Structure 1
Amino acid sequence: MDKLVAVLDEQNIEYEIIKHSKQLNTAQEGAEYFGIEIGQTAPTLILKTEKGYCCLIISGDYGRVDFDSLRKILSVEQVKLASPKEVEQVTGSMIGSVSLINRDIPTIIDSQVNRFQYVYGGTGVPQTTLKIRPSDLEKMNEIVGYIR
């Protein structure tokens, strides 16, 4: 998490890292814990394609991932969720803790996160949450496309 904090501070990003006593495993748990709308939670999913890995940052109320639209955005034949082992290899984090900031991985963002002043998502470390402006997610990641 030191690397995350250093990168955010270096770019003068306004953020908050919130520590909590229990692991938050779902968008619903996060929304309840922080007293926010489920859409303000922003899980980071790791996708696997024949061209490599990609991040997908979604609004917690997105529902089912539309793999057809992701294939078009990424210009690939196949897209699937990376396995837990692959997620750990690519990000250094376990599923459920993947950071919102992954500067070296191409990222697709759900444009619906922009409905909110702040979104809440992973830091790469269990039992911590990053609170950040959606516009700063765009600055801090290599954005290759948008859904919705």
Structure 2
Amino acid sequence: MKNIKDILKGNGFSFELIHNDKPIYTAKEGADYFKIDIAQIAPTLIIYTNKGFYVIVISGGRGHVNFKEIKCLLNCKNVRLATKEEVKLITGFSVGNVPMFGISLPYIIDKRLLKVSFVYGGLGEENTTLKVEPDALLKLNNVIGTLD
């Protein structure tokens, strides 16, 4: 994976790397830590379906993953979150540090993230958060679908 900072700069996206002085484990913790709306927090999740693995970047304001919506979007029968072991094996990152960009899997993006000026999510480095324009999620990933 190329350096995400160079990719973001090269594509003209505004971004900021923020070094957290403590680990952030939930969307609520992130919203409280950065003093922002929870809808701007963008957890990156890996899901497994009978068609393979996918990346979902979801709005923290959503509260949960709607597996029924994902099944309809992907036209598949089985959907579940990947296990910690699967996430590490497939992405090379541990749960909680999965980056919003650069994973060679198909992406599903939550449209709610496109309604805010900046989203905050993983960069692939512990205790580091990426603040970035949400359009970068669509332009720099292999997006195969969106969640309403």
Q: Comparing 90-99 with 33-42, which one deviates more in the overlay?
A: 90-99
Structure-1 separation of matches of 2:58 and 2:123: 15
Query: Residue 49 of structure 1 aligns to which amino acid in structure 2?
Result: T
Structure-2 separation of matches of 1:124 and 1:17: 11
How far 1:5 sits from its partner (Å)? 2.2
Q: Deviations over 1:64-88 (max 9, x none)?
A: 2111110111122211100011111
Q: Which residue of 2 aligns with 1:94?
A: 94
SS at match of 2:86: helix
Gaps of 5+ in 2: none
How far 1:96 sits from its partner (Å)? 1.2
SS at match of 1:138: helix
Q: Which residue of 2 aligns with 1:21?
A: 21
Q: Which residue of 1 aligns with 2:56?
A: 56
SS at match of 2:121: strand
Counterparts of 1:47-86 in structure 2 under 5 Å? 47-86=47-86
1:104 aligned onto 2:85: no
RMSD: 1.5
How far 1:109 sits from its partner (Å)? 0.8
How far 1:2 sits from its partner (Å)? 6.7
Gaps of 5+ in 1: none
Q: Structure 1 length normalisation: TM-score?
A: 0.93
How far 1:136 sits from its partner (Å)? 1.1
The question of whether the paired residues in 1 share the 8 Å contact of 2:4 and 2:102 is answered with no
Q: Which residue of 1 aligns with 2:124?
A: 124
How far 1:33 sits from its partner (Å)? 0.8
Q: Which residue of 1 aligns with 2:113?
A: 113
Q: Which residue of 1 aligns with 2:40?
A: 40
Q: Structure 2 length normalisation: TM-score?
A: 0.93
Identical aligned residues as a percent = 39
Q: Comparing 100-109 with 6-15, which one deviates more in the overlay?
A: 6-15
Structure-2 separation of matches of 1:98 and 1:140: 15
